[in-house]
Structure 1
């Protein structure tokens, strides 16, 4: 059964707001009006991506009988804010801490990979919706808005998956790699390709390629 402490809920809300702001700044630059316009749209992708990523870790931890709780990392939030002004986001606002006297590399790896897998699935869902509404978005402002939200959702979730799978420090990738190299290489390759596609050809052209137009 999912249980949350009041401090955990507070930390999740703070991290969600600040990380959303960071992605808005990274995409809009220092234009305040553009940031404010983009922020609500980005919050959908970040809200789904960030919150469900952390809940993925928490759910698998609790599935194995461990207590798990998200805790904010203030220094990580500050660093994310600083890097956003450079055009990218070092997204490490906090982490789900699993409390266990002993844990195998396999269980630790499965707990760690849950978050990036959630992001990959969400990115594909956003992409699927973007594909389904693209034609209508050409003639409808409502569908155009939905397409923009989904394009941002795809890009952000792809990036979050790829970033967290990097085998650096305490990121998820280090623990997945310690558990199973094959699973790590496949997941980071998928997330990496999805991220590169969003950064190079862009989501709109990717959708057009999928639709064959």
Structure 2
């Protein structure tokens, strides 16, 4: 059974709101009215991409019987707000801490895969929602959701020690290659192919 502590729920909510605000500020510039008006959209298309990525790690780890808890990184959240002022976001809201004995390589790989896989699924859902979003003048938000989530997948799949990609690669290089290729295709389509769609 998945359990959340009061502190964990607080950390998730704060991370979700701060990351959403940081991206909202970048997209809407210094237009305070637009930032406020679009904040709810940013929570859906951006904030959930970060939070659901981390929760996917948590749920998968718990499924294997390990203790897992999300903890926000206060300095990372402050950096996100500061860097958004300069036109980019250093987005490191927090991480899921997993504890257990004798975590197998396959289990660790699958737990790590859960985060990028969640972003890939979200990116696909945003791309599938594009025709409907276009009817309500929300195509830009659907594109943003697809771009952010596919980028998160690609970034976290980089096989560096601190990222998910290294653990996935150590577990199964073929799974890593397939996942990275899919994430790159989605990112390329979100950045370039979508513009072709919007002109049709």
CA contact (8 A) 1:12 1:51 kept: yes
Q: Hey, what's the Cα distance between the residues in 1 that align with 2:133 and 2:24?
A: 23
2:48 counterpart residue number: 48
CA distance in 1, matches of 2:87, 2:166: 25
Measured after TM superposition, the shift of residue 73 of structure 1 is 1.1
**How do 1:36-115 residues align onto structure 2 when only pairs under 5 Å count?**
36-115=36-115
Give me the whole-angstrom Cα distance separating, in 2, the residues matched to 1:86 and 1:69.
Answer: 32
For 2:197, the equivalent position in structure 1 comes to: 207
CA distance in 1, matches of 2:150, 2:157: 11
Q: Quote the Cα distance in structure 1 between the aligned partners of 2:26 and 2:185.
A: 21
Inter-partner Cα distance in structure 2 for 1:86 and 1:105: 40
Separation of aligned partners in 2, 1:18 and 1:36: 13
> CA offset at residue 171 of structure 1?
1.9
Q: Provide the C-alpha distance between the structure 2 equivalents of 1:206 and 1:111, rounded to a whole number of angstroms.
A: 36
Q: Distance in 2 between matches of 1:190 and 1:87?
A: 28
TM normalised by structure 1 equals: 0.83
Of residues 137, 150, 160, the one that matches 1:144 is 137
For residue 9 of structure 1, give the secondary structure of its aligned residue in structure 2.
Answer: helix
- 8 Å contact 1:49–1:119 — kept in the other structure? yes
Name the residue aligned to 1:140: none
TM-score, normalising length from structure 2?
0.88
- Cα distance in 2, alignment partners of residues 109 and 158 from structure 1: 20
- Looking at structure 2, the residues matched to 49 and 42 of structure 1 have their Cα atoms a distance apart, in angstroms, of 10
Q: How far apart in 1 are the matches of 2:185 and 2:33? A: 32
- Structure 2: stretches of 5+ with no match in the other structure: none
Q: For 1:193 and 1:84, how far apart are their aligned partners in 2?
A: 27
Show CA shifts across 1:148-201 (max 9, x none). 4322221221122122222234221222122222222222222233223333x2
Counterpart contact for 1:130–1:207, Cα < 8 Å: no
- Superposition deviation, residue 83 in structure 1: 3.2
Distance 2:59 2:46 in 1: 19
The correspondence for 1:160, drawn from 146, 152, 164, is: 152
Matched residue pairs, number? Answer: 200
* Corresponding residue number in structure 1 for 2:180: 188
Q: Distance in 2 between matches of 1:80 and 1:34?
A: 19
